[in-house]
Structure 1
Amino acid sequence: MSALALTGARADYGGQPVLGPLDLDINAGERVALVGRSGAGKSTLLALLHDRTRRDIALMPQDLGLVETLSVFHNVFMGQLSHHSAAYNLANLIRPFRREVKGVTAVLERLDMTETLWARTGELSGGQRQRVAVARTLFQGGHVLLADEPVSALDGPRAERVMEALTEQYETAVIAMHDLQLARRYADRLVGIRHGLIAMDVAADAVETEALDALY
């Protein structure tokens, strides 16, 4: 059963084609890593998938989308703003509810970030801010994950921790990645993008190193 699908999808920028036309079918329960050099079209492809199927999708953009003047708690809680009324969200902004603090803390604990709960997000390191965005994505919930370079600012152990948390929570996922070792370890399928087209679509455990090298 398809969870996400594109048929004849294309994208233009300033009248110039940047992606497609291409077809892509993601089955429920499948974890797909999008690989390829910067500018190949991975972020555009994620945007098309999100625009076509917004419902029940957790999105982590590459630009993170954090409000740096607010605390880590408030940035993570934003993942569930659509779950509550405007009055509830406003009250929680002024004086966070205990149950929401407990829920956000549990997510931060999965990423070794509980000590930053009340820190101003703009005062954190780049890697910490990236983990805040990951925490917001985990807190958001849903059944499908679309993530754009979720571990680009993280070192080995922290990158592993993030990939474990994301793939444990989301059975269906499409993740753009530069780290090919992580991609092969945490994805079922690798989709290689080159010049805006799908140049490779293979099982992660069957891909040859030479085929990956040809994408870069």
Structure 2
Amino acid sequence: MTAPLVALTDQTLGWGGQAVLRGVTLQVAPGERIVLLGRSGVGKSTLLATLHDRLTKRTALVPQDHGLVGSLSVFHNVWMGVLDDHGTAGNLRCLLWPRRSERSRVEGILDVVGLAGMGRHRVSRLSGGQRQRVALARALLRGGEVVLGDEPVTALDPAQGAALLDHLGGRFATSILALHDVDQALRVATRIVGLRAGGIAIDAPATELTEADLLALYR
């Protein structure tokens, strides 16, 4: 039997000394595509952060606040995804004088997310949707075994969001995504974890769930 990538057993999760979720038992197996659903503030971000902290494999993260540095260029924000692959001297040199090969590598990813030619633009001047694309590009450049995303496509229209979720699915073997769109969840997930009233209310294969089952999480 394949060992789980991460496992939680009867855990109380929260922040600032305040419990948000109680009795959380959850395992993530390699190759799963898990979507977290539930009302705003129910604890999706808390659960996602806990899983991220406890994963030991290489992971890419798309945080809800994007995690970008507004004063830097799109290129440099995307390149942050691979900073830990290079030494201090190399990263400093790239900050000041990026090589053509490095810019080309990032440009290829920017083309995928719909930001072709924008590598030199300052992030502070971008729209919310463009910033979300930068965060997605950073995750795609980083790569790894697992991607975690906290509402990673909320600023995009449904068609754009669906396409970029598909790119994440093609780049990473395992994904754990907090989404708000039930239709998207049923389309991309192999398993759905629904949160309600301070705990896990649903944990089942997506093929066994209906839209009505999931909408009950929001009542």
Relative to the length of structure 1, the TM-score reads 0.96
Q: 1:77 aligns with which of 61, 79, 90?
A: 79
Cα pair 1:192 1:200 within 8 Å, conserved = yes
**Contact 1:18/1:195 (<8 A) preserved:** no
User: How far off its partner does 1:161 sit?
Assistant: 1.8
Give the corresponding residue for 2:131: 129
**Post-superposition shift, 1:208?**
2.0
1:215 equivalent in structure 2: 217
Shift of 1:151: 0.4
2:156 maps to 1:154: yes
Structure 2 residue runs without a partner (length 5+): none
Q: How far apart in 2 are the matches of 1:181 and 1:108?
A: 26
1:170 alignment partner in structure 2: 172
- Give how far 1:158 is off: 1.3
User: Distance between the aligned counterparts of 2:80 and 2:206, measured in 1?
Assistant: 34
CA–CA distance in structure 2, aligned partners of residues 34 and 24 of structure 1: 12
In structure 1, the partner of 2:93 is 91
Match of 1:18 in 2: 20
Per the TM alignment, residue 102 of structure 1 is displaced from its structure 2 partner at its CA by: 1.2
Match of 1:47 among 46, 49, 52: 49
How far did 1:3 drift?
Answer: 1.8
SS in 2 for 1:205: helix
Q: Residue 67 of structure 1 aligns with which residue?
A: 69
Which amino acid in structure 1 is aligned with residue 213 of structure 2?
A
Q: How many residues align?
A: 216
Q: CA RMSD in A?
A: 1.2
Encode CA deviations 1:62-83: one digit per residue, 9 max, x unaligned.
Answer: 1111001111000000000000
- How far apart are the structure 1 equivalents of 2:39 and 2:9? 23
Q: Secondary structure of 2:95's match? A: helix
Query: In 2, are the aligned partners of 1:34 and 1:190 still within 8 Å (CA)?
Result: yes
Percent identity between the two aligned chains: 47
Q: Specify the code of the residue in structure 1 equivalent to 2:210.
A: E
- Name the aligned partner's letter for residue 21 of structure 1: G
Once the two structures are TM-superposed, the CA of residue 53 in structure 1 deviates from its matched residue by 1.6
> How far apart are 1:190 and its partner, in Å?
0.7
| TM-aligned CA deviation for residue 38 of structure 1 | 0.5
Q: How does 1:172-187 map to 2 (within 5 A)?
A: 172-187=174-189
Q: Structure 1 regions of 5+ residues with no counterpart?
A: none
Q: Which of 3, 6, 9 is the aligned partner of 1:4?
A: 6
Query: Structure 1 residue 189 and structure 2 residue 201: aligned?
Result: no
